[in-house]
Structure 1
């Protein structure tokens, strides 16, 4: 069916055209199709265009948005579009699609199904997670961000008080949420949880410790891994799979030591029935009590051991002779057993030749600078000499290479330099699992860097610090939202092989334009590049359609 234009020539030489609604029918006698007129609109120059517009609009109800828009444009100048505004779309669309694929929306909707709110709590929580991943800001700044800067499916505006209430309610369902999210993510991504990596970090607050309230039992001064001992802080823990996916987070008061949290972490993870789990932890968790805790209920551990700890077993492991076995480039291992029976301990000594060469060069540079400082001492007066000598002896780098003679003279300690060379490019690992090869132990421990990458992303890309919340519940909720954002970000990074910072920059180029005309409004996305389509395909997600919204005016 189509609009047919026919014309005839008048006696005065002019031409008159007529518009007809027609369709072709097969003529068996003539053996070709002939046009059959269904309706005549009359002369072309006298046609009521509003009749054609109504016809197009009625037909458009049964067309795809793209075809409907083309039909509207075919009417002519009455469908002229004005470019009203533009919002960033790519990052929010990818996070929204991944959020749905992981079943996060369904989990939260079920957890909050008995609560009546004007705005969806699930959408408010997603908006905070997306903000943390795309453009970290305060809750007040989010109001303008959601309204003017980014397109978030299912929510067009937020208010800071709504966000704070959603944070409070999120904390009430934290335990169940973490468990359901883990089950959903592990099933969908087929995560391997035989190795779980755990580490802690700290995050500070822009509050002077002396100005903090006396009853603040959560924000405390402690050992700052951010190198900000002048500020109060909290301690954050992460459990990460071998793929680099954070499956759970913890938060403790700022003066909590690493040694004191292992028991709680172990109990929480045992409650999830993960099966056979080997916990991989750094040297800060290698106390005997912690190692016994990790072995409860059939668990095992791979833990870094401090080579300079002074432990008898450690010294014996380091001094044990034997050949290294080449595992791969720049990685050699030596399996060491110390003791018998219940006192038996298994160590793996790892050696990296390239790292050993870097250690040697770095030490030689330090000694060269140290010799320069010691030469300068000879030019100083007595009092100045004494102060400068004390500074050198207490220096964290230079002090270990210095010895003082009876007359107070400082000299290089050549034995200390030789002893330091024995540790170049080496690190010691202890494990309770005899079924793992030395190679698996070494590579498993090496992957602990994934936790460090997660913390780095949490602090830099997601801008966890500094925090400005004062109440303990708000702090916990803030970290929970940051963990959800980190979960999405790390999945994207693992699946695409790109850093989130680089991918976010590329996704920000995908915009949603709002166009309006007398016939209605259209929201159209920019054309996707091949790289952008590749990123969505790597995650198994649908990219944004060309037309997201089309609203016709009656």
Structure 2
């Protein structure tokens, strides 16, 4: 008859075997089930062994009782295992006696939390902010953005014991306190990471708006121009990133503040924090103002900003005079643009375009204009739609408050033929204004640097969608700043994870969240077992570790 026996191995583990007696009362091993290092592992092995030796043909009486097995102890004291994904806390053995069969008492996405925590730590955030609660808030924002009251549920699903609601609120308070603000330290860590893994000689800047589920305005939350075309109170958020989209600085302004008035404060704050003398700022045409460019130039900062196409007739007057309206695909014209109004730095009487020099042209900036056939086709399609809408409004077929190319006059609302012809004349052109001399950066590099702005736009999309930065429900400025600190930190982790894996943070969470660890109570002991990790997910985890 088969029976179960326990044998101590050379390593100190407890081996479970199924054996039987031979005719000479010698024991013959039928099957080696495995070796256990913990009470829980021993319980699992014993359960497997009992399935092998029990007589399945023998009936059982259903008495409505919970089946129990006697507690079985390990033989010897084995060394702690070292091949698990996470550290396990040894449990204290319960007194000997009957215990229930093994039960799964819980599952969690510990693997997901651990992988994101690894990225968080690799950025130096754990050293900069020695606050596990803050780290948990950041990771919860990455996995499932939700309210502060519901954050505990998200953390519990990842195997974390969440802090109380009052502790979470106190953590947010510490994040924005004047004496111990976390954002300054997180920004320092981000700067260190950016300079270690690349450089910050060129930074990208853009703004967005975050709206509130609120009816009334206050000193910060105001109704203004909304990128989502909403009429709710909002704030304006400025974000400075490196050339790859990694966040470096963030700031918020009143909801009715113009975009062009945000770039200088953010850049000066970044420059003062890290004691930088000079670097290049790239921004879109919304930041183009004489005051902005002069302020950046006075601070010894270089800039590349988009130029409005309405400035093309002045900048390209010489080209139109000598070459007409003919452009070739990919043609680049390196010239100058007046800082204010018009000047004679680019005289149409001279055929050659002037080479910008700050000493020679104190009243102008350098301007680079490029023509693209693809852009021309796109611009003309847009103009066709706008012309059709304007004609429909003039004919009374549609109503529109202020359609383009419709003139308001006493005689009625005729089509502005001159404005339409002027717009078609400039279709396909894109301009860039800079204070970088030609010998410092060529025209092609100026254009390429500006086109990197999609990185900061992508970061804004991530913060709005994946991190659910809006709508915002906070009311006070401190609460709003704390929310932005969490989002800023989460964005840094998300961008790093995305760059290392080539996948979006949403895809990473979706793939790893389903790999759930199981907590099992068996043989009077409780232990958590890691999930099986498919090869693709193993590669993903390896990439996240860097």
Q: 1:491 aligns to what?
A: 496
* Counterpart mapping for 1:333-348 below 5 A: 333-338=332-337, 339=345, 340-348=360-368
- How far is 1:180 from its partner? 2.6
Structure 2: runs of 5+ lacking an equivalent: 1-8, 30-52, 54-68, 89-97, 338-344, 346-359
Q: 2:220 aligns to what?
A: 218
- How far is 1:267 from its partner? 2.1
Q: 1:352 aligns to what?
A: 372
Report the 3-state secondary structure (helix = DSSP H, G, I; strand = E; otherwise coil) of the residue aligned with 1:170. helix
Q: 1:128 aligns to what?
A: 137
**CA deviation string 1:107-158 (max 9, x = no partner):** 112xxxxxxxxxxxx11111111121110111111122223x2234xxx122
**442, 446, 451: which is aligned to 1:441?**
446
Distance 2:487 2:385 in 1: 41
- How far is 1:411 from its partner? 4.8
The question of whether the paired residues in 2 share the 8 Å contact of 1:454 and 1:486 is answered with yes
Q: 1:93 aligns to what?
A: 114
C-alpha distance 500-146 of structure 1, shift in aligned 2 (>3 A): closer
Distance 1:320 1:218 in 2: 50
C-alpha distance 17-535 of structure 1, shift in aligned 2 (>3 A): closer
**CA deviation string 1:147-192 (max 9, x = no partner):** 3x2234xxx122111111011111122464144313432254x222
**TM-score normalized by structure 1?**
0.74
The question of whether the paired residues in 2 share the 8 Å contact of 1:324 and 1:334 is answered with no
Distance 1:90 1:332 in 2: 53
The question of whether the paired residues in 1 share the 8 Å contact of 2:327 and 2:371 is answered with no
Q: 1:288 aligns to what?
A: 290
**1:150 and 2:173 matched:** no
Q: 1:267 aligns to what?
A: 268
Q: 1:208 aligns to what?
A: 215
**1:168 and 2:173 matched:** yes
C-alpha distance 337-454 of structure 1, shift in aligned 2 (>3 A): same
Structure 1: runs of 5+ lacking an equivalent: 20-44, 70-76, 110-121, 378-387, 542-554
**1:454 and 2:468 matched:** no
Q: 1:425 aligns to what?
A: 428
Q: 1:415 aligns to what?
A: 418
**CA deviation string 1:233-262 (max 9, x = no partner):** 111111010011011111122222223333
**TM-score normalized by structure 2?**
0.75
Report the 3-state secondary structure (helix = DSSP H, G, I; strand = E; otherwise coil) of the residue aligned with 1:53. coil
Q: 1:506 aligns to what?
A: 511
Question: How many aligned residue pairs are there?
Answer: 454
The question of whether the paired residues in 1 share the 8 Å contact of 2:277 and 2:300 is answered with no
Report the 3-state secondary structure (helix = DSSP H, G, I; strand = E; otherwise coil) of the residue aligned with 1:164. helix
C-alpha distance 365-297 of structure 1, shift in aligned 2 (>3 A): closer
- How far is 1:498 from its partner? 1.9
Distance 1:293 1:415 in 2: 36
- How far is 1:496 from its partner? 2.0
**60, 85, 89: which is aligned to 2:78?**
60
Distance 2:254 2:336 in 1: 38
**1:191 and 2:198 matched:** yes
Across the aligned residues of Structure 1 and Structure 2, the Cα RMSD in angstroms comes to 3.3
241-250 or 347-356, larger mean C-alpha shift: 347-356
Q: Pick the structure with more helix per residue.
A: 1
